[in-house]
Structure 1
Amino acid sequence: MTIMNKYTSALSTVLAAGTLFFTNCSNVDVNKMAEEQGMTINPSPLELHGDSVVFDIETKLPPKLLKKGYTYDVVVQYNPNDAEPIEVGVVSFNGDDYADAPEATPALSEHMAFAYEDKFQRGQLEYLGRATKVKNEKVKESNDGAFAAMPNGQGQGVITTVKNVQPTFIANYADHGYNNAEEYIPTNVDFFFMQGSSVLRSSEKRGAEGKELTNYVSAANPTKTVTITGSHSPEGSTEANTKLANKRPEAVEAYYSSLMKKYKVAEDEAPQFVTKPVVENWTAFKAILKDSDKFTDSEKDEVLSVVNGSGDFVSKQLKLQSLASYKKLFRYVYPPLRNAKSEILQIKDKLTDAEIQSRAASISEGQMGLDSLTTPELLYAANLSSDLDAKVKIYEAAVRKDDSAIAHNNLGATFFAQAKEAKDADAAMALVEKAIPHFETAAKSESLPEAYANLAGAKLLKGDVAGAQADIEKAAASSNPQVAATVNAVKGYVAIEEGDYDGAIQYLSSAGDDSGVLYNKGLAYLLQASKSGASDYSQASSAFAESINAKDSEWAHYGAAIVAARQSKADDAIKEIKASGDLKTKAAQDLEFFSLWDNADFQAATK
């Protein structure tokens, strides 16, 4: 905002009253001294930041006024229109400090503050001059002890733009728990081969594993892939074992293909076959040995010392042949290694999104039973719907189905979403009140972080900042990005209220692109510049513009009007005020627009 220039008429009354007291000289030019002294208040009007009004006061006295042995105090008070005056501070001059420099201009700057109450918004900074002779403590006050208003209208009232911060509530939906991606049901079929053979025996085909495969293929189950891994026992050459590890999966694939042909599985429904040989690998060997009860612990240790020792695969096999327990190895461990293991991934039968939505609509209208969809399917259907009224009906059906925490939270979140689109504040608050019991139920039953985040937003709207802070801490550990954004939005709101604008900007920059969040970020930038005495409001302007683009916001237009007024852009300020809806009447009394109060176009715009 425009800072008032230095004034040259301050302390006139004080000096006129105290001059003879200080000097006892009738030839002192009191009027000249009065013209040369000054008092400056910065900022003016005063501004609220956090819970306090903070300002700087610079006081200058004319040369030769102060004398050794005397003090001169400027007592400052704030006199509200609707409350008793409160003393703010004192600027104290000591004549002894200037005794050796009679031509100097005594000047002091003080940083002052007072706690703010709403009844202090309209009022006036005032001062009283008090001269004291140190030796006998004789005191003389200006204007017969009556406080006088600061010169040139300085310190009139308190700008409370910080109170324009708006509570933001974001609809936080908990995950519906439904996986709409293609899912698979694994089936495992293992076939075993004779030593040195890759022929799939008839006994294997007729056995339990063969029957399971036959039943699976004959059922024409939709199948994604069939992965067949071939293995071998340790004996034999590397060349022979490599061949066996490749040929055994091929034999199983051929048998699978023959079954598809037999049961007339269409070519375009055939799965993708993946064959993988496992050659000269001790992992399965060691697992079988570990689980076997045919070996003593010392025998197992002896075998493992070979397997885990030095040498290549073939040399280790030769060492195993020399062990006393080799016959047991060959009988109990080697046969299970001569295999081809298949993992068949059956495509899980699922309803299409369209089918889920259709059933959900019928359920919500009472045309189908609640058991026509699972709870995750029902919640997923609500998630798919873009119509908020339809969402409400589906979530209400989900609540009736199993009274789950997620259903309650998401129903409340939809009421939140409706509140954000409500045409007036009363309708919006009614929807928020409707949402709160569902959030409370969800929070109690499963401590859902989404529910706590939603409760925090609701409590902010109701003015319960402490309650909102308590709930947001319970949601802070959530991995849900929307919840994280809400946490930062609430913390940003609180930081603005406390006057921590740097912290607010940091939080709100990670709070998403909700229109209310962007407005508060713009406000934080504006207040940060104001508090630091800066005149660059470009970041505030950008954030207000982003808020308007996200959702046309009366408050964002109002914020943009304040920026324009502070930059002395009257036409832009009036344009934004016209776009601020019902807030235009607020502008008529807002000290932010003090410089425009006499502007006819401003007066017309704020009617």
Structure 2
Amino acid sequence: MKSNSFKVFMGFFISFLILSSCTLLKDLDYTVTPSPLEMHGDSIKFSVTVNVPEKGISKSVKAEITPKLGNKALGVWTIQGEKIQGNGKTIVFKPGGTATFETSLAYDPSLEAADLVLTGKIYKGAKSKEKGELPSAKIADATIVTPLLARMTCEMCTQSDELVRVVDKSVSAVINYDKGKSLVKSKELKDNDIVDLVSWIAASQENEKLEIQSISIRGYASPDGEFAKNGDLSTERVESAAKAFSKLMKKAKLEAYTDVATYDQKGLGEDFEEFKKQLAATESISEGDKNLFIRVLEMEKDPEKREAEMVRLGKSYTQLEKDVFPNIRRAVITINYKESGLTDEEMIAFATNKTDTLTVEEVLFTGETLLKDLNSRIALYAAVAEKMNDSRVYNNLGSLYYVQNDIPNAKANFEASAELNASGEVMNNLAAISMLEGDRENSRTLFAKAKGMDADKMSAVKANTAGLDILDGAYAAAEGNISGNTFNKALAQLLQGDLSSAEVTLAESDDKNDADGLYLAAIMAARGGTGASDVVAKLKLAIEEDASFKAKAGKDREFVKFFEDAAFQALVK
């Protein structure tokens, strides 16, 4: 901290200050710390030490000093001789001494370009008879407000897509069999599902987005015969289905799929799970009989006894043979394939003229990865946001509006996103809005909720809070929250008095040539004592980037020692 001493000469006091050729109060020195005054954490805190020389205050004298900062009165400070009773600070006559007064007040913009001025009155005797006035004297400049340079814009946290560019899919058809048989009936090969499957395979040959990976055939038997025989029967059904399907491929001239040795074939025996599913679906059998059938199949292992038990249910068993078992005696032919989604080129094209054909994952991939123009990205998200009603789309759209400094639209989209999903990303982004609105308390609350993200995003959240830390006067916390070299980190280091580190950080940052970065460099030059020409040169660069810094520099107490410099005056006026 800097401190300055001001000597106020009392020689011009009006004549009644002199009593019996003895001066009641001699010349006083004032030491102000810091000087100029400084704002930290929304407050101005300073101390003034009144230095009273030897025999500088008569034993029966009291001086009431009235400090004033700009238009704000700051109370009364009292020093008194050793014979005065009261709450003032007593100064012994012969040696003199010092009295220190500490003051704190809330900062407001009117105090940025203000003077700390003292006036007061002199009193004598126990009855405090007024003997004169202290002349008005400026003892310090106010106020350095460098913390207000903190950047309050934040890094947005956007959300990525979950787009799968190639999807594993399958399409199937079923061949049903008679009880105990593995012969493929010709009518089965004319069923719609078989015909459609063959047509699909033929069409896939012309579709570059489809790639057949394998053909699998699974055979099943109904759980009403002997278990071992049903296992063999299911295998035989697989083999007959494979041969039948191979012939269909040959007939369709799909030679690539005719070799049965390439089919994945497996007989799976009795399909009890499918039996339960089919049984539950039929309406021709009562719930009570359905439960009986299940218990019989689960508890009776002897196939003859099991069938006999089911036959006893009479009509229900007949319905079982009619509605349930035929659907289980089958072979399932499955084509496993990969389907590729839209190409990058297709998604870019659809982003402008066919947005309704894009899925939400394709929209997010296009908006975050493919499109580079900010306005094009906004147009895409805005076109689909309401229809898709996806929290990620709203959040990313809000982030783009934020970058464009369209804060109302940014806020509206962040709020829409948060209503659907209060993600860590949107909590960070809403905190950024609150920061710009000046609601620091709410901003901190929201930042605290920005959790559950990857390391890079969590690092961004910490860096975003640094602006709040600086305004709160927590400079060490601000520095610790920033991992890289940035403007705010350099500012936090400077405000801790670490000029050399601040200079290195700013020089290695991407912000050094921005207007505020150049202005901060001028402040560093002023604090480092590199001379008026260096300060003026750096200020000139800052003003060329942002003309508003001319007026600011003209009253900025960081440059108070240069206020009378001709080059400085020429630059800021």
Would you call these one fold, judging by a TM-score over 0.5? Answer: yes
CA 1:400/1:317 → structure 2, altered by over 3 Å: closer, same or farther?
Answer: same
> Which residue, out of 43, 48, 59, partners 2:34?
43
Partner residue of 1:147? Answer: 136
Partner residue of 2:69? Answer: 78
Given that 1:76 and 1:125 are in contact with CA atoms closer than 8 Å, whether structure 2 keeps it comes out as yes
> Which residue, out of 542, 546, 555, partners 1:580?
542
Partner residue of 1:191? Answer: 175
- 1:179-258 alignment, distance < 5 Å: 181-183=165-167, 186-193=170-177, 200-221=184-205, 222-225=210-213, 226=215, 230-234=219-223, 252=241, 255-258=244-247
- 1:385-400 alignment, distance < 5 Å: 388=373, 392=375
SS of equivalent residue, structure 1 residue 127: strand
Alpha-carbon distance in structure 1 between the residues aligned to 2:127 and 2:263: 109
- 1:166-565 alignment, distance < 5 Å: 166=151, 168=153, 181-183=165-167, 186-193=170-177, 200-221=184-205, 222-225=210-213, 226=215, 230-234=219-223, 252=241, 255-265=244-254, 267=256, 283-301=273-291, 323=309, 331=321, 333-344=324-335, 352-355=343-346, 357=348, 370=353, 374=357, 388=373, 392=375, 518-520=486-488, 522-523=490-491, 525-526=492-493, 530=495, 534-536=496-498, 540=502, 544-545=506-507, 547-548=509-510, 552-565=513-526
Q: Spell out, residue by residue over 1:148-167, the C-alpha distance to the aligned partner (whole angstroms, 9 max, x if none).
A: 222xxxx2131222343456
Partner residue of 1:423? Answer: none
> Counting strand residues as a fraction of each chain, which structure ranks higher?
2
SS of equivalent residue, structure 2 residue 201: helix
Q: Spell out, residue by residue over 1:65-104, the C-alpha distance to the aligned partner (whole angstroms, 9 max, x if none).
A: 789998654432113xxxxx32124445576688899989
- 1:14-33 alignment, distance < 5 Å: none
Alpha-carbon distance in structure 1 between the residues aligned to 2:434 and 2:457: 16
CA 1:126/1:220 → structure 2, altered by over 3 Å: closer, same or farther?
Answer: closer
Partner residue of 2:115? Answer: 124
Alpha-carbon distance in structure 2 between the residues aligned to 1:56 and 1:254: 100
Given that 1:170 and 1:416 are in contact with CA atoms closer than 8 Å, whether structure 2 keeps it comes out as no
**How many residues in Structure 1 have an aligned counterpart in Structure 2?**
536
Given that 2:167 and 2:338 are in contact with CA atoms closer than 8 Å, whether structure 1 keeps it comes out as yes
SS of equivalent residue, structure 2 residue 141: coil
Given that 1:75 and 1:91 are in contact with CA atoms closer than 8 Å, whether structure 2 keeps it comes out as yes
Deviates more, 1:98-107 or 1:347-356: 98-107
Alpha-carbon distance in structure 2 between the residues aligned to 1:441 and 1:114: 33
CA 1:63/1:288 → structure 2, altered by over 3 Å: closer, same or farther?
Answer: farther
Given that 1:379 and 1:394 are in contact with CA atoms closer than 8 Å, whether structure 2 keeps it comes out as no
Given that 1:55 and 1:112 are in contact with CA atoms closer than 8 Å, whether structure 2 keeps it comes out as yes
**In terms of Rg, which structure is larger?**
2
Alpha-carbon distance in structure 1 between the residues aligned to 2:175 and 2:219: 10
> Which residue, out of 106, 111, 120, partners 2:103?
111
Given that 1:465 and 1:494 are in contact with CA atoms closer than 8 Å, whether structure 2 keeps it comes out as no
Given that 2:43 and 2:104 are in contact with CA atoms closer than 8 Å, whether structure 1 keeps it comes out as no
Structure 1 letter corresponding to 2:143: V
Alpha-carbon distance in structure 2 between the residues aligned to 1:100 and 1:413: 63
CA 1:145/1:10 → structure 2, altered by over 3 Å: closer, same or farther?
Answer: closer
Compute the TM-score of the two structures, normalised by the length of structure 2: 0.64
SS of equivalent residue, structure 2 residue 102: strand
Given that 1:188 and 1:343 are in contact with CA atoms closer than 8 Å, whether structure 2 keeps it comes out as yes
Partner residue of 2:73? Answer: 87
Structure 1 letter corresponding to 2:201: V
1:44 deviates by 1.7
Partner residue of 1:427? Answer: none
CA 1:445/1:76 → structure 2, altered by over 3 Å: closer, same or farther?
Answer: closer
Stretches of structure 2 lacking an aligned partner (at least 5 in a row): none
Alpha-carbon distance in structure 2 between the residues aligned to 1:402 and 1:316: 63
